[in-house]
Every structure is written in C-alpha cells, then in structure tokens.
Amino acid sequence: MFGFGARAPTSAEKVAAVENELKVVAEMHTRMVKICSLKCVDKTYREGELSKGEAVCLDRCAAKFFEAHAKISDHLQQQSAQQGGGFGM
C-alpha cells in the first residue's frame, strides 16, 4: 500500500523470502517422504516396483500431507496479516 507509511520490501528481502520458502518446501518434502514411506512401503522389499496398494497409499498420504500443509499455511498467513506482518507477495 503506497502512501500509508509502509515501505516496499527490498530486492534482498524478496530474495530472502523466496529462499526461506524454498527451504520450507524442501523440509516439508523430506518429512512427507519419510512419513509416507514408513507408513506405506513394505519393509521387506519383495518386489522391485511399488505394489498397487503401496502406490495408492503413497498417493493418498502425499495428498493429505499437502492439504494439511496448505491449511496450516493459510492459517499462519491469516494470523500474520492480522498482526500486520508479512510481505504479501
């Protein structure tokens, strides 16, 4: 919002925000792979490929993980906006 005393973020701040977002996404991916693999993949590795049941389980697990992440992110963004923080990119 221009003219209301809020300054626009600098290029360095924008880059830092993007780098932070990439870090969060990479950490989320690592957690999702670990959790869903433990839950869905048979530890005996009887076959070279995933079974249909394992593939379906992994797909559902990943979908639930992303859905939960999106809901949490939306909630945190709403809280941040209410407190006057964030860049609003």
| pLDDT per position as a tens digit, 20-74 | 989 988 999 999 999 999 999 988 888 889 999 999 999 999 999 999 989 998 9
pLDDT confidence of residue 89 = 47
CB atoms within 10 A of CB 52: 8
Arithmetic mean of pLDDT, 63-88 = 84
Backbone torsions φ then ψ of 26, nearest 5 degrees: -65, -40
> What does the alpha-carbon distance between residue 66 and residue 68 come to, in Å, rounded to a whole number?
5
Long-range CB contacts (within 8 A, 24+) of 55-64? 61/32, 61/35, 61/36, 62/32, 62/36
pTM over 0.75: no
Going along the chain from its start, the domains and CATH numbers come out as: 11-82 (1.10.287.810)
| pLDDT per position as a tens digit, 48-62 | 899 999 999 999 999
